[in-house]
């Protein structure tokens, strides 16, 4: 594939909307619209058999959802720095042990967003520092309870479902 033209049709605080004109291997030329995203982190914070979740209002879905702590990478910030910052901002916790365990694309059909998943252990409680528009509540649940909530449709956040399935596959 060859990109013939690139256009930014919208530039926002979190992402840009791009349109590319692409020549396929067959010679056919197509247009593709997609979200260009700087990437994000998601934190799988555990204490024993419990996982740290947050209940957060998400305006795009017009409601409250249960999810793991997460956030968008800032310019010049490494995924690990972002994970440490987001964990403390959203929950007040700091992790003595933080390890990247997997990466996943959110929706590669229309977005470049790649989420770096971190396992956070040996947590120390502190004070949360949420951003002005973040309304969150910390919840601790065991993995089995979260799996039940997923099966009942009570947890619908894809990054959280991915994280809990990873935890279950690891026997944590």
Just list the catalytic residues: 132
Helix, coil or strand: residue 82: helix
Helix axes 158-170, 143-151, angle to 10 degrees: 130
Burial 16-41 (b: 16+ CB within 10 A, else e): eebeeeeeeeeeeeeeeebbebbbbb
Nearest to 93 by CA among 120, 74, 132: 120
């Amino acid at each position: 594939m060859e990109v013939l033209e690139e256009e930014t049709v919208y530039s926002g605080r979190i992402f840009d909307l791009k349109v590319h004109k692409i020549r396929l291997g067959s010679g056919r030329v197509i247009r593709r619209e997609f979200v260009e995203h700087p990437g994000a982190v998601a934190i799988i914070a555990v204490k024993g058999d419990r996982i740290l979740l947050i209940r957060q209002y998400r305006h795009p879905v017009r409601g409250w959802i249960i999810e793991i702590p997460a956030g968008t990478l800032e310019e010049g910030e490494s995924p690990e720095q972002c994970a440490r910052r987001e964990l403390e901002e959203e929950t007040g916790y700091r992790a003595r042990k933080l390890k990247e365990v997997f990466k996943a694309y959110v929706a590669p059909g229309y977005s470049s967003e790649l989420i770096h998943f971190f396992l956070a252990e040996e947590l120390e409680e502190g004070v949360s520092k949420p951003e002005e528009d973040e309304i969150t509540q910390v919840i601790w649940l065991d993995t089995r309870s979260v799996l039940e909530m997923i099966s009942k449709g009570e947890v619908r956040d894809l990054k959280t479902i991915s994280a809990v399935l990873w935890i279950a596959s690891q026997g944590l």
